[in-house]
């Protein structure tokens, strides 16, 4: 089969009084998202206005300029850095004569590429269908189009009829399937809790390096790329400290500013994984120029998900890309590392151990000779800091820290 040509894309953004503080960051992100979705960016069109035009986002002059740019660059796709209303999408498609997407559809499309598990695929389909439902008018061409173009994966590939009732039925069916998957996930979660397995969750802005950290700690070989949303499905692996304490680490989907509401709703069960964790590693790209915005986005989403009481260690990653004196941490407790170096791995393990010991309760136990086999249990379920044998008492004396 011949390789499908990349879509030639023009990106469009309007800087307003409302979004000016994050406008440049947001446009950079849109560029990254488009590249992740394998689009070829041929031009980026920006406009400053007090507010977006209610019908066409752009003013008349800029809209005319956009039409000329589409012809000049032979673009076949325009992506707006705004969520378009059904009416705006329809008007713009008719005016421009090419496919028009918005930021939300682009993110949904990337999620469709990245989904690997049954649950991930179902959640993406649900989000796409709920987004499409009010936008069905005039979407016949793009919905029946087969293949890998941006914004056409998922429901488009199954040639869904443009029929509201059919889509509503499909939404109900997916929701029912998801309920079953969620119940299974809940059972697994309960089993881990009943076995008293200590659970660590990785959270952070997309592309901060969560999967890299998962890999250096557990050799899980998760998909690790300099791309937005490289990880979509949560992955849980066993991990143990050098002293023997066993726990699980779960890698989760990356957060992003303006994460579409549909995705927060659809991925609720996946994000719920973070809620059930005993401890969180918040991975931050220390080198990112908008680091503070990334940190704020993650904390806002954590509040939305009601994950505010779980202890957090901030892992400032990618320290190798900057000078030490240029970096001022804003979140505490923290550790600053390069996940790619062996020193970074050691520093991270020590920082995690230190934080766990601060949260755990110190203990000391004495075990008789015939209880020696218990030592292994203590090493597996607690952090053992010392183990001695008292000849006079003929007892093992174990000291350490135990989860509360």
Rounded (5°) CA angle 346-349-354: 125
319 annotated as belonging to a binding site for a ligand = yes
127 annotated as belonging to a binding site for a ligand = no
- The residues facing 44 across adjacent strands are 11
340 annotated as belonging to a binding site for a ligand = yes
Token pair 């954590």: residue = 302
26 annotated as belonging to a binding site for a ligand = no
- Dihedral angle of Cα 251, 353, 313, 310, to the nearest 10 degrees: 80
- How far apart, in Å, are the Cα atoms of 74 and each of 39, 67, 71, 347? 14, 10, 5, 51
229 annotated as belonging to a binding site for a ligand = yes
373 annotated as belonging to a binding site for a ligand = no
338 annotated as belonging to a binding site for a ligand = yes
Over its C-alpha atoms, the chain yields an Rg (Å, rounded) of 25
321 annotated as belonging to a binding site for a ligand = no
58 annotated as belonging to a binding site for a ligand = no
125 annotated as belonging to a binding site for a ligand = no
112 annotated as belonging to a binding site for a ligand = no
142 annotated as belonging to a binding site for a ligand = no
251 annotated as belonging to a binding site for a ligand = yes
230 annotated as belonging to a binding site for a ligand = yes
219 annotated as belonging to a binding site for a ligand = no
| Cα–Cα distance measured from residue 49 to residue 292, given in angstroms and rounded to the nearest whole number | 26
339 annotated as belonging to a binding site for a ligand = yes
215 annotated as belonging to a binding site for a ligand = no
223 annotated as belonging to a binding site for a ligand = no
64 annotated as belonging to a binding site for a ligand = no
- The residues facing 401 across adjacent strands are 362, 383
252 annotated as belonging to a binding site for a ligand = yes
318 annotated as belonging to a binding site for a ligand = yes
| Cα–Cα distance measured from residue 201 to residue 281, given in angstroms and rounded to the nearest whole number | 6
382 annotated as belonging to a binding site for a ligand = no
Own/partner long-range contacts of 345-349 (Cβ < 8 Å, ≥24 apart): 345/216, 345/217, 348/213, 348/216, 348/217, 348/315, 349/217, 349/241, 349/242
| Cα–Cα distance measured from residue 350 to residue 219, given in angstroms and rounded to the nearest whole number | 18
| Cα–Cα distance measured from residue 48 to residue 21, given in angstroms and rounded to the nearest whole number | 13
Binding residues: 204-211, 229-233, 251-254, 317-320, 338-340
Binding residues for Mg(2+): 211, 231
Binding residues for GTP: 204-211, 229-233, 251-254, 317-320, 338-340
């Amino acid at each position: 089969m011949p390789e499908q040509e990349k879509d030639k894309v023009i990106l469009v953004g309007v800087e307003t009084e409302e979004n000016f503080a994050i406008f440049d960051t947001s446009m950079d992100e849109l560029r990254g998202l488009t590249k992740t979705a394998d689009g070829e960016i041929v031009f980026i069109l920006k406009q400053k206005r007090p507010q977006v035009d209610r019908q066409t986002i752009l003013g008349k002059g800029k809209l005319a300029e956009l039409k000329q740019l589409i012809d000049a660059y032979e673009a076949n796709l325009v992506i707006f850095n705004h969520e378009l209303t059904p009416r705006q999408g329809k008007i713009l498609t008719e005016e421009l004569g090419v496919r028009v997407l918005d930021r939300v559809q682009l993110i949904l499309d990337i999620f469709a590429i990245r989904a690997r598990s049954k649950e991930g695929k179902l959640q993406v389909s649900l989000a796409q269908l709920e987004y499409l439902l009010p936008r069905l008018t005039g979407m016949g061409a793009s919905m029946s189009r087969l293949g890998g173009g941006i914004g056409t994966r998922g429901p488009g590939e199954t040639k869904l009829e443009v029929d509201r009732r059919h889509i509503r039925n499909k939404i109900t069916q997916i929701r029912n399937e998801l309920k079953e998957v969620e119940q299974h996930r809940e059972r697994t979660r309960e089993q881990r809790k009943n076995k008293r397995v200590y659970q660590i969750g990785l959270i952070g802005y997309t592309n901060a390096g969560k999967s890299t950290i998962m890999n250096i700690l557990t050799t899980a070989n998760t998909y690790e790329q300099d791309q937005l949303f490289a990880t979509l499905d949560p992955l849980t692996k066993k991990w143990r400290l050098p002293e023997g304490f066993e726990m699980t680490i779960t890698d989760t989907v990356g957060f992003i500013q303006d994460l579409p509401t549909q995705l927060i709703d659809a991925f609720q069960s996946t994000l719920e994984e973070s809620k059930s964790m005993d401890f969180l590693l918040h991975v931050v790209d220390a080198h990112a120029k908008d680091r503070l915005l990334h940190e704020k986005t993650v904390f806002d989403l954590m509040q939305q998900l009601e994950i505010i009481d779980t202890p957090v260690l901030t892992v400032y990653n990618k320290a190798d890309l900057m000078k030490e004196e240029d970096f001022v941490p804003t979140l505490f407790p923290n550790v600053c590392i390069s996940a790619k170096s062996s020193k970074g791995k050691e520093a991270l393990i020590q920082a995690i151990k230190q934080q766990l010991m601060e949260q755990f309760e110190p203990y000391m136990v004495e075990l008789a000779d015939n209880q020696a086999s218990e030592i292994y249990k203590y090493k597996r379920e607690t952090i053992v800091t010392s183990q001695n044998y008292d000849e006079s008492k003929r007892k093992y004396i174990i000291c350490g820290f135990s989860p509360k």
